[in-house]
A and B are shown apart, each in its own frame.
Chain A
C-alpha cells in the first residue's frame, strides 16, 4: 500500500565482534549500508582488498570448474528450467562445504587444469594435422625430405609456382654456363598452386643448377624433416592418436567429478558471500578497539535487528528518523494483488522521498486496461492457466519473475472477463466451426455487445474510462499537495482544473457532435447546463488568474495563466490516447477472425479438419503473441505517459540491503 518508512540505524561496537555482527546483518538482509563518521579523526578503514580478491578468485575458480563440468557432463534442462530459481540448502550444508573448502577448491583447480590440458591437446592435434597436410604432396617421395644426394650427385627437393613447367626449367638450365648435362627433373606432385619437384644433378654442377632453379622461384620445403614423408606421416598420426587418448582420459577424469557439482556450487556461493562481507568490512570506520556501522533499515524490521544484535553483543544500537536532507532508499510494500505490478512501477522509477506510492491504484487500472485491449475469453484463459501452472510448478523462481507472471495471470483473468463481455472466443471460432463443419451457424452471444458491430459505442466508453483514469491521477496530485499542506496549490492546480474540465465535459455531452458519436441525444435539465457553463467559466478565469501566481508582474502572470489554459489541448490528446483500448481490442478480434476464416477454406471432411487445426494453432499462437505484446506495451504507456504524467515523478533509488547475494543456492535460515 505504501512506501515503507526507513530509519537510520547506527551500531557502535567492539572490534572483536565486528565480523560476527556483520555476518548476522548479512543473513538477516534488511539493512542497506550507508556509512557515517567516515572522516572523523581516530577512525580508519581497514584494507580488505587482498582478502576480498582472494575470495573472489576462489569463487571464480569454482564457477569455472562448474562451467567445465557443464561442458563435459551436461545436466538435462527443460525449457522452463530458468524459472526454477535457486536451490534451497540448509545452513548446515553450507557449513560442511565451508569445512571442506580446501579440498573442493583443489578439485576445482584440477578440473580447470584438465580442461586446459584438453584445450592444449586439441590445439596440438590441429597443428599436427596441418603438418600432415603440408606433407601430403610429398608422400610418393621415397627418400628423406632433407636428403641431399650421394657422393657424386646432388638432389634438390622443393616447390615452384604452378605456372613454371618442367620444360621451362630445362630451358633455363640449358642457358646456364657450363650447361649441367644429365640433370633430371621429376615432378612429385602438382596442383593448381604449386609444383613439387626433385632435381637430380651431378655434384660438380650443384651450384649452377641451384642458381638456375632459384631464379625460377624454386623453394625448399619450410619444414626440416629427417624421415621419408610416409614414415613421418605415420609418426604424426601416432602422435595424434596419443593426444586423442590423453583427451579421452582427461574427459573421463572430469566426468568422474560429476558428483562434485553441488559442492562446487556451495563453495562458490560461500566465497562470494565472504567476499561481499569483506567489501563492507573495508568501508567501516574503525578505531583501535571499536567500529561504527550505519545504514537504513525499514522501520518494521528494526525490532528484529535490535533483538539479534543489541541483546547479544556489547554495543550501542542507535535508532534515528531520517533527516530532512537525507534521501533514503525506497522499498514498497503492497498486498499480494497489487505487488504484482511493482515491476512495472520499478521500470518507470520508484517513488522518491515523501512521494505517494501509486502501485495499488495503478494495479486495478493496469489489469482492467490490459484485459480490454486483449479482450478474448479463450486467450485470457490460456494466459491465466499457463501463468498459474508455471507459478505452482516453480515456487522458487526469482522474485521479479514471480511478480511478472502473477501480473500476467491477473491480466489473463481480466482478458477472459472482457472476452465474455464482448463475445470473443478465439475470435469467432464458434460461428465458423459450427457453420463449416455442422452446417448451422451458432453464435455465442456477447454479454455486453460486440465491438465490431458498434465501434462508436466502445469508443465512447474507452474515452470515458480514460477520463476516469486521468481524473484519478489529478486527484492523487491533489491528495499529495494537501498532505504537504499546500492548500493554495491544491486549489489552483487541482480544484480549478477539475471545475474547468468537468464544466467542459458537461457542456459537451448535450451537443450534436457528441450525439452523432454516441448515437444517443443526451438532454440535461437547463439548471445543469447553467451549472456546466458556470463551472467552466470559473475554472478558466481562476486558472488564468492563479496559474502564474509565482510571478509578481501582473501582465506576465496573466500571460502564464493563459498559457496554462492552453494545456487543455494536452488533456484532449491524453483522452484521445485511450482510443487505443478500442483499436487494440478490435485488432485481436479481427485477426482471430481472419485466422478462422483462412482455416475454414479447406472445407469439410478430414482434410478440412486437419487443415483447420493447423491454421488454427499456428495463427492463434501468432495472434496471441503479437497482441499480448501490444497490450503489454500500450497498457504500460497509458500508465506511464497519461496517468503518471498527471502526478508522478519517480526517481527514488531502490533499497539494496547488504545480504548474501548468492548465485546457485539459497540458504535456509534455522531459528
Chain B
C-alpha cells in the first residue's frame, strides 16, 4: 500500500488545524486591533473600562468557533477518545474541505470585526450612552462568521465515517 492511501487521518487533522489556526489568527488580529483602541480610551477615562473591554472581546468569537469546529472534527475521527478511525483519503479530504469555511471566513471576518470594534470603541469614548448601538456594528460582521460556522458544523457532521 502506498503512503498516499494512508493519509486520510492526516487530512482530517489538517482540517481541524486549519479551522483552529486560521479562525484563531483572525480573532487574535481583531482583538489586537480593538485592544489598541480600547487601551487609548482607558488612558483618558478609566471608568469606561468595562464597556470597552466588552467591545474588545467581540472579535474574539471567531477563535472560539474555530475551536468548536476543530473539536467536533477531532471527536468525529476519534482522535480524542483513543482509537482513531481508519479514514480513506477521500473522507479525510472531505473533512478538510468542511473545515475550510470557518477557517477562512474566521480569519477575514475576525480582522474586519476588530476594525469595526475599534471604531465602535470610538463611539463609546464620545457617547457612552450609545453603547447598545455601538455594539451592533461589530455584531453585523460576525453574522458571516456564524454562517460559516454553521456550514462547517453541518458539513463535518454530514461526512460519513
Q: Which residues of A contact B (CB under 8 A)?
A: 344, 346-348, 452, 455-456, 459, 576-577, 579-580, 582-584, 586-587, 590-591, 593-594, 597, 626, 629-630, 633-634, 636-637, 640-641
Most chain B Cβ neighbours within 10 Å, of A348, A576, A583, A636: A583
Query: Assuming the A-B contacts A580-B143, A626-B64, are A597 and B80 also in contact, with contact meaning beta carbons closer than 8 angstroms in the complex?
Result: yes
B139 touches A586 (CB 8 A): no
B137-148 vs A, CB cutoff 8 Å, 1 = contact: the mask equals: 001101100110
Q: Which residue of A lies closest to B150 (CB)?
A: A579
The 4 closest A-B pairs by CB, nearest first: A347-B132, A637-B139, A580-B146, A590-B68
Shortest Cβ distance from A81 into chain B, in angstroms?
A: 15
Which chain A positions have C-beta within 8 A of B71? 590-591, 593-594
CB contacts under 8 Å to A, within B127-161, are 129-133, 135-136, 139-140, 142-143, 146-147, 149-150, 153-154, 157
- Is B57 a contact of A626 with CB atoms below 8 Å? yes
Asked if A586 meets B68 with Cβ closer than 8 Å, knowing A577-B143, A634-B139, A636-B132, the reply is: yes
Q: Is the interface of A mostly helix, strand, loop or mixed?
A: helix
Q: Are B64 and A633 in contact (CB under 8 A)?
A: no
Q: Are B72 and A590 in contact (CB under 8 A)?
A: yes
Q: How far is the CB of A46 from the nearest CB of chain B, in Å?
A: 32
27 A-B contacts, Cβ less than 8 Å apart? A347-B131, A456-B157, A459-B150, A459-B154, A576-B147, A580-B146, A582-B150, A583-B149, A583-B150, A583-B153, A586-B68, A587-B68, A590-B67, A590-B71, A590-B72, A591-B64, A594-B67, A594-B71, A597-B80, A629-B57, A630-B61, A633-B58, A633-B135, A636-B135, A636-B136, A640-B136, A641-B140
Q: Which residues of B contact A629 (CB under 8 A)?
A: 54, 57-58
Contacts of A346 in B (CB 8 A): 132
* Cα distance A590–B157 in the bound complex, in angstroms: 14
User: Which chain B residues numbered 102 to 150 have a C-beta less than 8 Å away from chain A?
Assistant: 129-133, 135-136, 139-140, 142-143, 146-147, 149-150
Query: Are B146 and A591 in contact, CB atoms less than 8 angstroms apart?
Result: no
**CB within 8 Å: A-B pair count:** 75
Chain A residues within an 8 Å CB radius of B72:
452, 590
Query: What bracket does the count of chain B residues touching chain A fall in?
Result: 20 to 34
| Complex alpha-carbon distance, A641 and B137, angstroms | 11
B30 at the interface (CB under 8 A from A): no
The answer on a CB contact under 8 Å between A637 and B136 is: yes
B35 close to chain A: CB less than 8 A? no
Q: Does B24 contact A (CB under 8 A)?
A: no
A163→B82 CA distance, assembly (Å): 74
Docked pose: A576 CA to B71 CA in angstroms: 24
Name the B residues within 8 Å of A630 (CB-CB).
61
Could you tell me which B residues sit within 8 Å of A by CB distance? Answer: 54, 57-58, 60-61, 64-65, 67-68, 71-72, 80, 129-133, 135-136, 139-140, 142-143, 146-147, 149-150, 153-154, 157
Compute how far the CA of A452 lies from the CA of B72 in the bound complex, rounded to whole angstroms: 9
Contact B139 A455 (CB under 8 A): no
**B99 → A minimal CB distance (Å):** 14
**CA A456 to CA B151, docked complex, whole Å:** 11
Residues of A close to B65: CB separation below 8 A: 583, 587
Could you tell me the distance in whole angstroms from the C-beta of B50 to the nearest C-beta in chain A? 11
Beta-carbon contact of A455 and B154 below 8 Å: yes
Given contacts A587-B68, A590-B68, A593-B71, contact A579 B140 (CB under 8 A): no
Instruction: Check if A583 sits within 8 Å of B146, measured CB to CB.
Output: yes
Shortest Cβ distance from A614 into chain B, in angstroms? 20
CA distance A346 to B131 in the complex (A): 11
Interface centre among A348, A586, A590, A640 (most CB of B within 10 A): A590
Which residues on B sit within 8 Å (CB–CB) of A590?
Answer: 67-68, 71-72
State the CA gap A584–B146 with chains docked (Å).
8
Who on chain B is nearest to A581 by CB?
A: B146
Tell me, in angstroms, the Cα distance from A636 to B153 when the chains sit together.
24
Could you tell me if A586 and B140 are in contact, using CB atoms closer than 8 angstroms? no
State the CA gap A593–B54 with chains docked (Å): 24
State the Cβ distance, B6 to closest chain A Cβ, in Å: 27
Q: Could you say which residues of chain B place their CB within 8 Å of the CB of A455? A: 153-154, 157
The minimal Cβ–Cβ distance linking A452 to chain B, given in whole angstroms, is 8
Complex formed: what's the CA distance from A651 to B131 in Å?
15
Q: A587-B68, A641-B140 are in contact. Are A579 and B131 (CB under 8 A)?
A: no
A576 to B135, CA, bound (A): 21
Contact A633 B68 (CB under 8 A): no
Give the nearest-CB partner of A573 in chain B.
B143
- Is there contact, CB below 8 Å, between A587 and B131? no
* Residues of chain B lying within 8 A (CB to CB) of residue A637: 136, 139-140, 143
A531→B139 CA distance, assembly (Å): 39
Instruction: Name the A residues within 8 Å of B132 (CB-CB).
Output: 344, 346-348, 636, 640
